[in-house]
Amino acid sequence: EQGTWDIEIKTAIGGTTVAAMEMFNMEVLFNAVSKGRIVNPVFGTTGASGIGEFKARYDGAGVIRVQANEAATASSHYAATIVATRVN
């Protein structure tokens, strides 16, 4: 829907094994154009990462997507929540 939107994205990585390189593996795209990577702090090799956050204001209609750029560690899983709030 057309308009101006505040976008807030929160991400996390979990699993029995999370590699340090996965810290920078999630990227935000608006209409297939990269808007930056989300940093998920990885504190060790087991358990969950810290929470990654991304905030932006977006004008127009289109697709907002979070994607992994590289293969994840076999036992890790990625999660993302996207909240879009219409400003006008």
Helix (H/G/I), strand (E/B), else coil: 22: helix
Q: What is the pLDDT of residue 71?
A: 83
- The DSSP bridge pattern shows strands 33-38 and 76-86 to be unpaired
Look up the pTM and report it.
0.85
Residues listed for the chain: 88
Looking at the chain, the whole-number percentage of residues with pLDDT higher than 90 is 49
Residues 41-54 have pLDDT tens digits of 887 777 677 899 99
Distance CA 45, CA 26 (A): 18
pLDDT tens-digit map of 61-83: 889 999 998 888 888 889 999 99
pLDDT the model gives residue 9: 96
Reference 38, options 20, 50, 54, 57; nearest CA is: 54
